[in-house]
Chain A
Amino acid sequence: MQEDNYSAPAQDKLTLALVDVSIPASYENLTIFGTIIREYCAALPQLLQEALPASETAIPTNYSHLVYCVELVVQEAASNIIRHGYREEAGAGELRLQLSLDASEANLHALVILLEDSAPAFNPTLARIEPPNPLDPRESGYGLYLIQKLTDKLEYWREAGKNYLKMVKYLK
């Protein structure tokens, strides 16, 4: 277990099992995030049980769906940063992913996903999101819609020239 080493607007009261990894921002490297997320999620039930022996409600029922959703929202947010933030330039910057468990609310444990980048400021929580239309399916612009639909809380802030996107997924 490590201390939080970022300053979020609201500090989590109890943060467990922090994973912290940085990669050069490229589509190829996103598979590294994918692998880390799958391994982290695979260890989640045991982590929860060891850290919070009293908790019974913490282990999600539809586990494979949860893992897929977490990998997908990270993939969507990160590839948006690579495309629009870093403009797909090799060596343009890094992407940092932190995963942690927030057990500050008694029966509502959450997986906290924090993405950090040094691209120009962009607040995805303010972007206009068009819902899908099956009568006229689009060929782009699904990423933010998926992030919004698949997370329970979404926060953005900018600090010291960096963008921070915090995505929270409740374990229920």
Chain B
Amino acid sequence: MLKIDQSEIIIRLASVKFSGRLDAQAGPTLKNLWQQYNEKGFNTILLDLTLVEFIDSIGISSLVAGLKQMRARGGDLKLIGLQPPARAIFELMMLNQVFEIYDTEKDALKGF
């Protein structure tokens, strides 16, 4: 006899592009942004960082906070276009094992 267990995951995806500096000054802005996405029911964010020239530990912490919130809602926060110097810092902090990091949005969408 066939038994069927069904579950449904609804992905509500937002695609966002940052430019400039992702630093201590940007921390509160990011906190508000994640809150807005939560309120609007988004659980997946594709975050394009191609034009971000500098990321510090507060910026990184804000990304981790966003990632945790999205995963808690059954989704994810995926990073796109992380530039080589920032990528080296992510590796140093072992966050390349935490975040899914892609070169392009097309690559990120293949992951679904």
Contacts and interface: CB of A to CB of B under 8 A. Distances in A.
A143 interface: yes
A27 B23 CA distance: 9
A28 B57 contact: no
B85 A139 contact: no
A140 B56 contact: no
Given A30-B23, A64-B85, A132-B94, A76 B64 contact: no
A138 B85 CA distance: 21
Interface in B1-40: 21, 23-25
23 contacts: A27-B24, A28-B25, A30-B24, A34-B21, A65-B84, A68-B54, A68-B88, A71-B54, A72-B56, A72-B89, A75-B23, A75-B24, A76-B56, A79-B24, A133-B94, A134-B94, A134-B97, A139-B65, A142-B57, A142-B61, A143-B57, A146-B89, A150-B92
> Chain B interface: which size bin?
20 to 34
Contacts of B93: 132, 142, 145-146
A132 B95 contact: yes
A55 B34 CA distance: 51
Contacts, number: 71
Interface string B52-80: 00101110110011011000000000000
A128 interface: no
Kindly name the residue among B24, B89, B97, B98 whose own CB sees the greatest number of chain A CB atoms within 10 A: B24
A13 interface: no
Contacts of B85: 64-65, 68-69
Given A27-B25, A30-B23, A137-B95, 16 more contacts: A27-B23, A28-B25, A30-B25, A34-B54, A65-B84, A65-B85, A72-B56, A83-B24, A132-B94, A132-B95, A137-B64, A142-B60, A142-B61, A143-B56, A146-B89, A150-B92
